[in-house]
Structure 1
Amino acid sequence: MKILIAPDSFKSSATSLEIATWLEIGIKSVIPRCETILTPIGDGGEGSLDAALHAGFTSTEYVVTGPTSKPVRARLGMKGDVALVELAQASGLSQLPSKVLAPMQATSYGTGELILHALDQGAQTVILAIGGSACTDAGAGALQALGAHIRDSSGHELPAGGAALAHVATLDVSTLDSRIASTHFILASDVTNPLIGEAGAAEVYSPQKGADSDQVKELAAAITHFASLAGSEHINAPGAGAAGGFGYMALTFLAAVHQSGIDTFLSIVDFESKLAGVDYVITGEGKFDSQSMRGKTPFGIYCVATASQIPVILVCGQAELNSSEDLRPGFKEIYTLNSFQPDISQCITNPRPIVEKIGQSIALSLRR
């Protein structure tokens, strides 16, 4: 029997490689001779760098500006002249001191610094994995790090954060790093929201980053003002609203090409070639719900594997699907951590024994 194990990370709980390894341990405790292929996957969110590293990228760690303007350690992935910049490494929710949200002041500056480090390493292509952002600054911080000058009416450089965008008077991009023009940027994200409007970056995502209703309105107005100076060509482009508007910056000033995050990473790990001779595929993520069916890792893998007539098993922390989202029969089986351990806090803080037990259950079912 040959099983390909290709989960995403379980956010705030375990990496994709950890989940894959624990499933393998459980399976082989029941079927010792089972052949397993571990292929950690990302879809542009947190954990994407780990998936790339398992696929042959190497990492270098740098000290960059964190989301609250304090120094943080962040890694950059390289393979040949291709760089992977994971925004969450520098500007993500995971980098907030003591996990205290900062919706108005959080900056993407450190992600711009990572891009510069990628260029210093000779990157000709930069993949921007932009999930997990703590910022709603329309990528202005990253743009400043890349050499742009964003000034207020007094001629002072704009301070960090989305709220400050309300005070932009001038934007000078003539000083951007010259290497940007000859670099190919890929915006790896499955978020299709525009920059502004009811489905915009501030309206939809800033509440997840700690903004209350008044702050959402303030951020939306500030981003709208910034876009009036930066240009309207890409404000409604799919992905412009991703990562608090970072997508808009990348499309506008880096000439980035928007690609499906899961498709990008399936290509990075050469997923289709790994399906040869495989009997079953196991995939998973922390929470499987309606969002999962819009380009997230499990659904992307489900589509590719079933096209090759390979049954797919889903493992997740919990599954929330209503009767109109009847994808359940498509998976051979769905295993949830909270069905093995009803205490959700245990599922999050100590998932290993539960995941190993699920691996055993999968093996017992397949052996029968």
Structure 2
Amino acid sequence: MRIVIAPDSFKTSASAHDVAHHIATGIREVLSNDTEIILHPMSDGGEGTSALFAGERITLPTTDALGRITEATYTYDARNEIAYIDVAAASGLKEVGDHLSPLTADTFGTGALIADAASRGAKRLILGLGGSATTDGGTGILTALGANFLDANGHSLPPGGAALKRLASVDISRLNLQAAAMDMLMLADVVTPATGPDGTSAVYAPRKGASAEDVNELEAGISQLCKVLNVNPEIPGMGAAGGVPICLTWISTTLHGGTDNIRLVPGARVIVDVTGLKDEIADADVVITGEGCYDSDTDMGKVVSVVLGLNPQAKQFVVAGRIDGPLPEGVRGITLINSNDVKKQLVRAGNKIAEQLIRD
């Protein structure tokens, strides 16, 4: 029997690497040693994306979404001059879960990582967009690169998305051109537009601590940002990471005179291609994937939906903390047991899968 385990991370609970290993441990406790188990941690552009790529792991001081000093890590492939950076590394929910601040949280810390990569010689940026604690439209990133977002009186706006409703212009006279002009590939974990009832503020800001009133302020800010920068807010994925693609699309288009140097793509499908999962999974007897919560977002290009589509003929399992909605036909769901020990939960999930395989 050939089993491929290809999960996403379980947000703040466990990395994709740990999820895969713990499930495999549970399977091996039940099945015979001649079972082939292949571990293939995945990501859709969220936390853990940069670690899936080859290169040197760079750790440096930066700031979290609240402006507090922290450390963050990204991957730099010096040979090919490519930096792989997760927005979640510096500007993620995990770092500020103790004190969410939806109106003022910003992506400045991610901009510091991008600037560092450029200083090392990076010519191309692969940016994972998932898992942010911010709804600032990417203004923090450009601020870190030297841009200045101004109100009608020429005063600098404070950090965060709420202040953007007063945005009148952007001064890029002191812009770090080396960093801002890099070729950029943005890996989106959602197809959310920037504004509207299905936009980044309405759908995701509440998960970042926003009240109904906060959502209205953030919606006004992101709408004004798109208006001033002349960016189409309806483009699928433009609302990923609290709208980070808005500013990056604008600055790349401004510097290069077009969109040839920047792309916004579904992250999970790119990672499947780059890491060779499609070939690895083609002749698997069993495919196991998973995420923290299987829900309506899953079918919007998330890891689980992409992995399940690669080999429908295999026996398929989804491991999740919660399963909120029907699984695709023939797919079996394994919900984690109630425990504060994540390893124990995932090992037990592996036990359950192995027991079902024996019964089959």
Q: With the length of structure 2 as denominator, give the TM-score of the two structures.
A: 0.89
1:153: Cα distance to partner? Answer: 4.1
1:14-42 per-residue CA deviation (whole Å, 9 max, x = no partner) reads 11111111111122222222221111001
CA distance in 2, matches of 1:214, 1:316: 32
Q: SS state of the match for residue 142, structure 1?
A: helix
- Kindly indicate whether the alpha-carbon contact (under 8 Å) linking 1:74 and 1:89 is maintained by their aligned counterparts in 2: yes
1:15 paired with 2:15, answer yes
**Per-residue deviation, 1:276:** 5.4
Q: 1:312 aligned to 2:320? A: no
1:76 to 66, 74, 77: 74
SS at match of 1:361: helix
Counterparts in 2 of 1:27 and 1:203: CA distance versus 1, 3 Å: closer
Offset at 1:82? 2.4
Equivalent positions of 1:1-368 (< 5 A) are 1-30=1-30, 31-50=32-51, 52=52, 55-79=53-77, 80-96=80-96, 99-180=98-179, 183-231=182-230, 233-254=231-252, 255=259, 256-275=262-281, 277-306=283-312, 309-321=313-325, 325=326, 327=328, 329-331=329-331, 333-337=332-336, 341=337, 343=338, 346=339, 349-368=340-359
**1:294-339: CA deviations, max 9, x gaps?**
2111110011122xx3332222222121xxx451x332x32111xx
Once the two structures are TM-superposed, the CA of residue 269 in structure 1 deviates from its matched residue by: 1.7
Letter in 2 for 1:288: Y
Gapped regions of structure 2 (runs ≥ 5): 253-258
Conservation of the 8 A alpha-carbon contact between 1:234 and 1:251: no
With over 3 angstroms needed to count, the CA separation of the structure-2 counterparts of 1:184 and 1:360, relative to structure 1, is: same
Amino acid aligned to 1:223: I
Code of the residue aligned with 1:47 in structure 2: it is G
Amino acid at match of 1:274: E
Separation (CA, whole Å) in 2 of partners of 1:4 and 1:227: 42
Aligned partners of 2:138, 2:130: CA distance in 1, in Å?
13
Would you say the 8 A contact 1:3–1:282 is kept in 2? Answer: yes
Determine the C-alpha separation between the residues in 1 that align with 2:322 and 2:25.
21
Q: Give deviations 1:135-176, integer Å, cap 9, x for gaps.
A: 111111111112212223443432211122233333123443
Go from structure 1 to structure 2 and tell me whether the alpha carbon gap of 1:303 and 1:228 turns closer, same or farther (over 3 Å shift). same
Q: Gaps (5+ residues) in structure 1?
A: none
Q: Hey, what's the Cα distance between the residues in 2 that align with 1:319 and 1:224? A: 33
Q: Report deviation, 1:363.
A: 2.3
Distance in 1, matches of 2:98 and 2:301, equals 28
Aligned partner letter, 1:126 = L
Partners in 2 of 1:67 and 1:181 — Cα distance?
Answer: 20
Higher fraction of helix: 1
User: Per the alignment, do residues 286 and 326 of structure 1 end up closer, same or farther by CA in structure 2, a change over 3 Å counting?
Assistant: closer
* TM-score normalized by the length of structure 1: 0.88
Aligned residues: 348
- Compared CA separation, residues 234 and 367, structure 1 to 2 (3 A): same
Q: Give the superposition deviation at 1:182.
A: 5.1
Distance 2:330 2:117 in 1: 41
What SS does the aligned partner of 1:292 have?
A: coil
Shift of 1:203: 2.4
Q: How far is 1:268 from its partner?
A: 2.9
Q: Which moved more, 1:17-26 or 1:189-198?
A: 189-198
**Deviation string, structure 1 residues 191-211 (Cα, Å, up to 9, x no partner):** 222222222222222222222
Separation in 2, partners of 1:284, 1:113: 32
| In structure 2, distance between residues paired with 1:200 and 1:85 | 24
Report the AA paired with residue 192 of structure 2.
Answer: N
Q: Match for 1:26: what amino acid? A: G
RMSD (CA atoms): 2.1
Question: Identity over the aligned pairs, expressed in percent?
Answer: 34
